Amino acid sequence: MAVKKQSKAAKKQPKTAKKQPKAAKKQSKVAAKKQPKAAAKKQPKKRLPTKVAKKKQVKVAKTETGKISTGQYGYFDDENKEYVLRIPATPIKWCNYVGTLAFGGIVDATGGTVLCKGDPALNRITKYISQMPCSDFKGSTIYIRIKDKDHVRILSPFVVPTCTMWDKWECRIGLSYTKWIAEGFGLKVTVVVFVPSKSSTLIQDISIENVSRKNMEIDVVPVYEFSHFDALKQLTNADWVPQTMTVEAHKEKSGHVILEQYAFMKKQYAVNYFTASLPADSFDGDRREFLGFNEITGWAAPSTLYKGKLSNSTALRGDNIAAQLFKFKLAPKKVGRVATQLGQEESIAAAMPAIKKYRDLKNVDRAFADLADFWKHYLAALQVKTPDASFNSMINVHNPRQCHTTKNWSRYLSLYQLGFGSDRGIGYRDSSQDLLGVMSHMPEEARVLAENLLSVQLEGGNAMHQYFPSTMEANEGDSREKEDRPKYYGDDHLWIVLTVASYLKETGNMEFLKKEIPFYNKKKELEAREKGTVLEHLKRSLAFSWNDRGAHGIPHLGFADWNDTVNLPTGAESLFNANLFAKALLEMIDICEAIEDKELVEQYKNWYEEIKAQVNKTAWDGEWYVRWFDEKGEPLGSSKNQYNKIDSLGQSWPVISGIASEEYAKTALDSVNKLLNTKNGIKLSWPGYNGFDPHVGGVSTYPPGAKENGGIFLHANPWVMIAETIIGNGDRAFQYYSQINPAEKNNGKISEFESEPYCYPQNILGSEHKQFGLARNAWLSGTSSWTYQAATQYILGIKATFKGLSVNPCIPKAWKEFSVSRKFRDAVYEISVKNPNGVSKGVKSVTIDGNAIEGNVLPILTGKKHIVEVVMGE
Ligand code: GLC
């Protein structure tokens, strides 16, 4: 009932709103209700009062809506490094990340918030259930109340949960902030949400401008709903949890209110607080009091908002919220502003410095400017100019930004990986790979995380699968579930060799190899655990795989390799593990050469040759490499199999590891092109299993074409791009790059793709599935790190080595030139590459500051900028 009342009210425009562009008004009204097709097509023809008005309004409409066309929900604003969403009704929830794992989380485009401090499972702050429709309250919202004579109108700048139809609405998804601008009802409401760098405070900066011609009384009511700190308990326990949840109110002399929230057992250790830059008129800490009528009218129309004040409730138990009401009286053109803070500290006393700081709006502005500076500095590590605009946009902004996100949250917290319980944590293999994507931007932060990963490596050399950042406790991941399968993953411990090598090459800090780090041992206290240098850790990684080989001389699969879902019985071997092992050996050989340990170089070269020989002897299937040998020695990923005849990793990785001969490499990659490539990306395997098969396990739980079962598992796509560049096929590498570029999906393919166009999803349904092209699992995917590496280190070909910065592009033949600005060690290299003869690969000449050099490795230089000119050719 109440909802009906709302939308009726919303239809009635206040007189002053006439000034608003009607066309835009209609667009966004329709848009909020319907699919974009209708939205974009329905231009304002009817209901326009006069001819004059019609002309004027259509003109306005063009500028207002001109940025998006049929099939689009928003557009890229490259200048501001934002994606601008104009239609809130996206097919699925689109979101953004704010802060870091230390304090931060997810903000969705209609105002929902998932906030955590340090650990999504063990220290969660807001309650958000991602499976609920976007129209439901999701941990947070803001209400705006306008009183007009006797009439009360309740709006939300986020459109939901009030179903507010604004004249104009946009949501700017920026670098660690989201900004909404909602116009209508005589108001222009701007909300910016962000976490100041290194703080434990989520700021919500709300401005309201009176754009009408009359004085207005406006109340602003931001609300958060709290979760129990143990995120899973919040969902599974409705007895203990509500008995412990508490909200107290502290009213200061100044009129400011601090709402303090905690679960009883945390009272002395960690409390959440909610306060603002302005004194509060009234507040609520109890959800039932706030929603009123025993919650029957829900979040869409909290009945308290139809009264004058909030109830000033606290909570001794039950569902905890933090709501405060702020009053504004605004003359025309005047702006009211309030900044709220949601934070967590040991106690309110400990929070006071931050509270005081951010009550001063100048400090809020400064913190926002500092955030922009952080990103300016971060992105400056590598900037490109190529003939392809969406490649530039992804490489200069969105892809490195996503790498920063995966570096922080691993696969722990997204709208898909929900961060409850012990299902996920910081993944060993995932984070090791994520670090490769941020190494040129934040190598020292990457090193700190690499040290954590090394500290959950076991004495025997293999690694725990994941750990919890706040306790540093580790576990064996899904391998815990099956009694009769190995309790380790065959690949985890190998990835870290690539990560450490990348750090050393980027920074030249060889001292790191000497740093002592404990090995993981659940049974021993930290101090009692065996320690080893980083070099020793890497040696044990390699020794583990060398000693853990099966009947074909190929490393065992363990519970799984990179592909989590193929879980063959004990004894199975993995060709992927063999190739990753070989690649790790190559990196280790580089490291040992750099530290001049000839004996180790010799040993690892022997191991490499042995593995190379075994793979080529046992795994060539005729047109491609097989992917596994099962416990009986039977191949999987072979033309002999009924399902899973060919697997993409089986072909890309022998090229990456240098194991495949030129002929095998070409034949295998052509088979990928023929059997696995589609217009939406390369499928992981083909054909998909068509029914559960306990022998292979998880992969066969998916229908054919979904996820690892023949889906386009995007993470594996950049590996094929890299392999193609290694064999010099720049056109194909770039084709593979472009066909999965999410920014490209913004041009007419979103209704099929559905996922955010400004970040890579994890998977797209493959051609065996009826919903071919549909993407899911946005943000936290290894696709981000590897596509960034494929683009920058292999297509553009700029790669850190121990000797300097190697320049070895492999580009589309049609590219005549491109340029890259790359920070490396203590200098910036301004590299411009010319391609006069239209080749894909080959460097003919290089000059630095006008002087020719031998070869294509730019020496390690100091000084600020160096001008590098490269000419490609045979
Ligand atoms: C998921 C996992 C990752 C795994 C991949 C393929 O992305 O997070 O660890 O490698 O699936 O199974």
pLDDT in tens, 308-339: 999 999 999 999 999 999 999 999 999 999 99
Please check whether residue 47 is in contact with residue 75, taking contact to mean a CB–CB distance below 8 angstroms: no
Catalytic residue positions, numbered? 564
Structure tokens at 361: 């709006």
Give the number of other Cβ atoms within 10 Å of residue 39's Cβ. 25
Nearest atom within ligand 1 for CA of residue 563: 12
Quote the ligand 1 centre to 501 CA distance (angstroms). 22
- The pLDDT value recorded for residue 43 is 38
Bridge-based pairing of strands 320-330 and 573-574 is: unpaired
Q: Is 707 in the pocket of ligand 1 (CB under 6 A)?
A: no
Quote the ligand 1 centre to 563 CA distance (angstroms). 6
Q: How far is CA 491 from the centre of its chain?
A: 23
Give the up-direction half-sphere exposure of residue 689: CA atoms within 13 A in the CB hemisphere.
19
**pLDDT over threshold 80, residue 6:** no
Structure tokens at 829: 């290299």
Backbone angle region of 554, left / alpha / beta, with phi > 0 → left and psi within -120 to 50 → alpha: beta
- The pLDDT value recorded for residue 150 is 76
The overall average pLDDT reported for the chain is 92
Q: Is 562 in the pocket of ligand 1 (CB under 6 A)?
A: yes
Q: Which residue is it, tokens 């932060």?
A: 445
CA dihedral 355, 360, 365, 371 (to 10 degrees): -20
- The pLDDT value recorded for residue 482 is 83
pLDDT tens per residue across span 725-738: 999 999 999 999 99
Q: Is 429 in the pocket of ligand 1 (CB under 6 A)?
A: yes
pLDDT tens per residue across span 564-614: 999 999 999 999 999 999 999 999 999 999 999 999 999 999 999 999 999
Nearest atom within ligand 1 for CA of residue 411: 8
| Range from 101-110, 147-156, 333-342, 814-823 carrying the lowest mean pLDDT | 147-156
- Nearest residue to 283 (alpha-carbon basis) of 294, 273, 297, 270: 273
- The pLDDT value recorded for residue 68 is 83
Quote the ligand 1 centre to 337 CA distance (angstroms). 44
**pLDDT over threshold 60, residue 206:** yes
Q: Is 564 in the pocket of ligand 1 (CB under 6 A)?
A: yes
Which residue has the CA at smallest separation from atom 6 of ligand 1? 563
Nearest atom within ligand 1 for CA of residue 708: 12
Residue from 412, 562, 712, 780 whose mutation best tests the ligand 1 pocket (most atoms within 8 A of CB): 562
Average pLDDT over residues 107-119: 98
Phi and psi angles of residue 246, each rounded to the nearest 5 degrees, phi first: -135, 140
Percent of the chain whose pLDDT exceeds 70:
92
**pLDDT over threshold 60, residue 30:** no
pLDDT tens per residue across span 347-403: 999 999 999 999 999 999 999 999 999 999 999 999 999 999 989 999 999 999 999
| Range from 171-185, 254-268, 475-489, 519-533 carrying the lowest mean pLDDT | 475-489
| Gap between the Cα atoms of 388 and 396, Å rounded | 12
- The pLDDT value recorded for residue 47 is 36
Quote the ligand 1 centre to 14 CA distance (angstroms). 53
Q: Is the pTM of this model over 0.85?
A: yes
| Gap between the Cα atoms of 342 and 105, Å rounded | 12
| SS3 (DSSP) at 121 | coil
| SS3 (DSSP) at 643 | coil
Q: Is 82 in the pocket of ligand 1 (CB under 6 A)?
A: no
Nearest atom within ligand 1 for CA of residue 430: 9
pLDDT tens per residue across span 631-682: 999 999 999 999 999 999 999 999 999 999 999 999 999 999 999 999 999 9
**pLDDT over threshold 50, residue 22:** no
**pLDDT over threshold 90, residue 39:** no
Q: Is 226 in the pocket of ligand 1 (CB under 6 A)?
A: no
Nearest atom within ligand 1 for CA of residue 564: 12
Quote the ligand 1 centre to 276 CA distance (angstroms). 41
Cβ within 8 Å of residue 664, ≥6 positions away:
616, 620, 625, 654
Quote the ligand 1 centre to 384 CA distance (angstroms). 30
Query: Higher model confidence: residue 815 or residue 18?
Result: 815
Q: Is 428 in the pocket of ligand 1 (CB under 6 A)?
A: no
Model confidence band, residue 874 (pLDDT cutoffs 50, 70, 90) = confident
Alpha helix segments (H runs only) across 686-811: 717-726, 730-739, 742-745, 750-753, 782-789
Sheet strands side by side (includes 168-173): 74-77, 82-85, 168-173, 177-184, 187-194, 201-210, 335-345, 271-276, 257-263, 245-251
Which residue has the CA at smallest separation from atom 9 of ligand 1? 430
Model confidence band, residue 422 (pLDDT cutoffs 50, 70, 90) = confident
Nearest atom within ligand 1 for CA of residue 417: 8
pLDDT tens per residue across span 840-866: 999 999 999 999 999 999 999 998 999
Residue 427's DSSP bridge partners are: 466
Quote the ligand 1 centre to 413 CA distance (angstroms). 14
Bridge-based pairing of strands 271-276 and 95-100 is: unpaired
Q: Is 563 in the pocket of ligand 1 (CB under 6 A)?
A: yes
| SS3 (DSSP) at 321 | strand
Distances (CA, A) of 15 to 18, 20, 148, 164: 6, 10, 11, 17
| Gap between the Cα atoms of 578 and 377, Å rounded | 39
**pLDDT over threshold 70, residue 4:** no
Which residue has the CA at smallest separation from atom 10 of ligand 1? 562
| SS3 (DSSP) at 199 | coil
Model confidence band, residue 66 (pLDDT cutoffs 50, 70, 90) = low
Model confidence band, residue 151 (pLDDT cutoffs 50, 70, 90) = confident
